[in-house]
Amino acid sequence: MEMLSMLKVGYTVLRSETPATDLVNTFMDWAARRSLLLLALFMPPYYAYKLASAAAATASPEDVAGKVVLVTGASSGIGEQIAYQYAKKGARLALVARREGSLRDVAARATDLGSPDVLVLPGDVARPEDCKAFVEATVERFGRLDHLVNNAGLANVCWFQDVPDVADFKQVLDVNFWGTVHPTHCALPHLKRSRGKIFVNSSAAAMLAMPRMSFYNASKAAVLNFAETLRMELGNEVGVTVATPGWIESEMTKGKHLSKDGTVEVDQDTRDTQVGLFPVVRAERCAEAIVDAVCRGRRSVTVPAWYRALFLWRAFAPEVGDLFQRVFYRRSSGDEGSQMRTRRVLELTGAKALLQPPSLHTSEIKRD
């Protein structure tokens, strides 16, 4: 009877000379509302396939010994630890970051951990010419490129309405988004020849936007969708793995970020407010999960895994997430006190020692 009613509606629409596209979209609206039943039928065989694929990947991860891996943002944090994980597996490394001194320290450590050859390449992923140069230098040195690890990132922590000039935050997009696009574009011909892999470090913030991080949230959402599009376009030619990590031990969680003026600052009070009661994962643990996912050809990886539950809540009950954010990040006019609610909870409960690795208790960061 319901289908008959739909046909009558369609006939009425046609008689009234309504464009055919309206009829098609009306039908699609009707069908979409009933698609959950189809989804319920589809999910069991789909997850059986996923389970079988995961088992196959677990049995035969890629051996990267002797292969060439280029890592951006390798001077600290997740990128540094990713370099060490590949080094333990015997990969040859090309390490990119702006701080040459820190890169050389990482290179020395990677060599001690088992990498047979490490190339240090000072460069800025926000500069297309630097991206072209470090990809070419890698291929010239090693003769090939097998894995590209897009890891470099930059965060801001400030209320959008307080920003004097939004143009000051183009650098967030330049590093996070274009700093992924340019190296990928330069490396793609070489990766296609080696049937290699691309790793893209997005963020949980791409799906769980947080107050005071508007530019960062947007840039990571762009990175996520770029990676998903790339996977569809490349098919089986080049593997694509995208990470959506939560709060990870890094210079960002030490308090390094862009202030409302677009300048870099290290402010641990602001960090405590922003990270709040979320536990921070050690960078080494995150890197282990990322390299394992790439070597097993997985589409995605989320560290810590429990963030996936938050993604579901965001998808199906977004108002709940909004309420939580407002409770902890609500701001009263002319008063910074309400911004500090999560920090006060940390201080009163002593939870900071439990939720944050010891390395985050100091504001010292690498300078060279």
256 within a domain of the structure (yes/no) = yes
Phi, psi of 51 (to 5 degrees): -65, -40
11, 46, 47, 216: the catalytic one is 216
207 is a domain residue: yes
**In a domain? residue 133:** yes
On the question of pLDDT at 13 being above 90, the answer is no
- 307 lies in a domain? yes
Sign of the dihedral defined by the CA atoms of residues 113, 119, 120, 124, in that order: negative
Taking each continuous run of H as one helix and of E as one strand, the counts in the chain are: 15, 9
**pLDDT per residue over 179-200, tens digit each?**
999 999 999 999 999 999 999 9
Each residue's pLDDT tens digit, 215-226: 999 999 999 999
β-bridge partners, 248: 281
pLDDT single digits (tens) 94-147: 999 999 999 999 999 999 999 999 999 999 999 999 999 999 999 999 999 999
How far is the C-alpha of 361 from the C-alpha of 114, rounded, in Å? 30
Q: Which domain holds residue 296?
A: 61-315
Q: Which of 194, 101, 216, 87 is nearest to 139 (CA)?
A: 194
The CA-atom distances, in angstroms, between 341 and each of 180, 214, 277, 345, 348 are: 35, 20, 10, 6, 11
| 327 domain-assigned | no
Q: Quick check: is 270 in a domain?
A: yes
- Judge whether 216 counts as a catalytic residue: yes
CATH number (domain holding residue 239): 3.40.50.720
DSSP H/E element including 240: strand 239-243
Residue 31 belongs to some domain of the structure: no
Stretch 29-48: mean pLDDT: 77
Helices 178-194 & 214-234, crossing angle to 10 degrees? 20
What's the pLDDT at 23? Answer: 80
Q: What is the pLDDT of residues 165-180, one digit of tens each?
A: 999 999 999 999 999 9
Q: How far is CA 294 from each of CA 27, 116, 124, 207, 269, rounded to the nearest angstrom? A: 41, 20, 24, 21, 35
Q: Number of folded domains in the chain? A: 1
Q: Is residue 52 part of a domain?
A: no
* Residue 249 burial (C-beta neighbours within 10 Å; 0-12, 13-18, 19+): buried
Q: What is the chain's mean pLDDT, rounded?
A: 88
Q: Give the rounded percent of residues in the chain with a pLDDT score beyond 70.
A: 88
The pLDDT of residue 18 is 62
Each residue's pLDDT tens digit, 149-160: 999 999 999 999
Q: What is the pTM of this model?
A: 0.87
